[in-house]
Amino acid sequence: MMNWVFVILTAVGLIVFAVKGDGAGAMAALAAGTGGAVTLALELAGPFMLWSGLFKVAERAGLTEGLSKMMRKPLSLLMPDLGGAAAPVSLNLAANFFGLGNAATPFGIEAVKRLDRGDGRASDSMAMFIALNSSAVELLPTSVIAVRTACGSADPYSVVIPTFLASLAAAFAAIISAKLLGRVFK
């Protein structure tokens, strides 16, 4: 899938550049992409290192065991081959919910590492987890509220409830389609 996504997006973009006769623009856009990856990786690195270190401390202190035990049952309804990933999955979903995006990504990466079987193929549980992470169930959409406030909204918070309900619908759709499509994509 990513194979196709990558080739189609890149090829379509480059062809449009070619039609416009803008070769220099095409090269600049290509270079901006890879350069942007370095910037983004560096931005991610700080919080990623911090939370991975703290997670390891919490784990060795036995703190994540309790969380795993508590969350294993409900989570395995969604992800049958959860394995040792219950704690990072729960922490990822909780961090997302409370809008701590910086912490959510490291926990999510830890979760997929534990769901991975090293065969280069997504398991049903891994696909479910990633689909769920692509829907944004969040208590307060802080960045949207900030933009609304900056743009002079009379009531910036008035979109919170519709946003929450729409993101619940998105999460629900992610669960259903990941379950059903698992049979189509072998």
8-state DSSP, 159: G
Q: Which is nearer to another protein, 73 or 98 (CB)?
A: 98
Residues 6+ apart with CB under 8 A from 14: 26
Shortest gap between Cβ of 80 and another protein (angstroms)?
A: 15
Long-range Cβ pairs for the range 65-74 (8 Å, 24+): 67/91
Shortest gap between Cβ of 121 and another protein (angstroms)?
A: 4
Candidate segments 69-77, 79-87, 130-138, binder of another protein by CB under 8 A: 130-138
Q: How many CB atoms lie within 10 A of CB 30?
A: 14
Query: Which tokens belong to 94?
Result: 């909780």
Candidate segments 44-52, 66-74, 77-85, binder of another protein by CB under 8 A: 44-52
Query: Which tokens belong to 133?
Result: 């992470």
By CB under 8 A, what part of segment 147-186 binds another protein?
147-148, 150-156, 158-159, 162-167, 169-174, 177-178, 181-182, 184-186
By CB under 8 A, residue 40 contacts another protein: yes
Closest CA to 77 of 138, 137, 112, 125: 125
By CB under 8 A, residue 21 contacts another protein: no
Query: Which tokens belong to 20?
Result: 């416009």
* List 16, 65, 70, 83, residue binding another protein (CB under 8 A): 16
* List 69, 73, 121, 139, residue binding another protein (CB under 8 A): 121
Q: How many CB atoms lie within 10 A of CB 117?
A: 11
By CB under 8 A, what part of segment 51-90 binds another protein?
51-63
Q: Which is nearer to another protein, 37 or 70 (CB)?
A: 37
